[in-house]
Amino acid sequence: MLGKCITNVRNSVPLVHNITNYVTVNDVANVLLACGGSPIMSDEPEDVEDITSICGGLNINIGTLNKRTIEGMFVAGKKANEIGTVTLLDPVGAGASKLRTETAVKLMDELKFDVIRGNISEIKTLALGSGTTKGVDADVADAVTDDNLDAAVKFVKEFAKKSGSVVAITGAIDLVADGDRCFVIRNGRPEMGKITGTGCQLSGMMTAFVVANRDSVLEAAAAAVCTMGLAGEIAWSRMQDGDGNATYRNRIIDAIYNMDEETLDKGAKYELR
């Protein structure tokens, strides 16, 4: 079922506007190309409206935010909401600094996001901080495990419901939920944590998946998570003696480049809760 989502990306070549950090931006661009999308980067407030207007999706990642690019995020986001562009928020480092937390919360409060993707601690920060999510029980552990899975699933569904966004929490076990359903995904490998920006890459790719599958945002977001995780598994199987995280990074992007519907359908490991 999820495999169809990547075919739709490849057939429609969604153009994605990324306002993203300068650390992992090149990998985000190459992953978008690998999965069948097309990337544009622009963060200047005077430029972003025009760029968002020609794109199907807007990926906002606050990883190396500054005052100018924060302004660009709001300007682009408002335009995107106005014209119906798909929007995704990646709240990198929310909780680690006041500026990041406040920016992420304000983005959530002032803009409508189709998808929010982060790790558990970032998403908890949003759930606690945002006015729109008051009442969400964020008292879940700092890592999703089999032991706390029930509570985590409850948390992510509740946050999705209150925020009105599909929410993806990625980690050893990934959760992708709307208010009713939650994909619990077990693709991926722990070594992916030794590569900078696999989360950022996933956010870029997820935006393209949602643009190409607007009628099934939840499935599209889950398909992107499975694609990334499965690519990590395939790439790992190709590692040779002496290879390390730099080669692994390349092989993961390569595996996304070669991913097709059948491989994804066979390799995706998830259950619906």
Q: Does 104 interact with a copy of itself (rule: CB under 8 A)?
A: no
Specify the stretch interacting with a copy of itself by CB under 8 A; choose among 3-11, 105-113, 149-157, 242-250.
242-250
Q: Does 34 interact with a copy of itself (rule: CB under 8 A)?
A: yes
User: What is the Rg, in whole angstroms, of the alpha carbon atoms belonging to the chain?
Assistant: 17
Residue 50 zone, left/alpha/beta (φ > 0; ψ -120 to 50; rest): alpha
Q: Does 253 interact with a copy of itself (rule: CB under 8 A)?
A: yes
Q: Does 97 interact with a copy of itself (rule: CB under 8 A)?
A: yes
Q: Does 65 interact with a copy of itself (rule: CB under 8 A)?
A: yes
How is residue 108 written in tokens?
């959530």
How is residue 259 written in tokens?
């991913």
E-assigned strands of the chain?
A: 15-19, 38-41, 57-61, 86-90, 115-118, 166-169, 174-177, 182-185, 270-272
Q: Does 122 interact with a copy of itself (rule: CB under 8 A)?
A: no
Specify the stretch interacting with a copy of itself by CB under 8 A; choose among 61-69, 81-89, 145-153, 262-270.
61-69
- For residue 220, give the 3-state DSSP assignment: helix
Q: Does 23 interact with a copy of itself (rule: CB under 8 A)?
A: yes
Helix and strand numbers, DSSP H then E, in the chain: 11, 9
Site for a copy of itself in 197-236 (CB under 8 A): 197, 234
What are the C-alpha distances in Å from 113 to residues 123, 184, 201? 14, 21, 18
Q: Which of 94, 195, 205, 225 binds a copy of itself (CB under 8 A)?
A: 195
Q: Does 116 interact with a copy of itself (rule: CB under 8 A)?
A: no
Q: Cβ distance 16 to 55 under 8 Å?
A: yes
Specify the stretch interacting with a copy of itself by CB under 8 A; choose among 122-130, 157-165, 169-177, 249-257.
249-257
Positions that interact with a copy of itself (CB under 8 A):
21-27, 29-30, 33-34, 39-44, 46-47, 50-51, 54, 63-68, 93, 96-100, 194-197, 234, 238, 242-247, 249-258
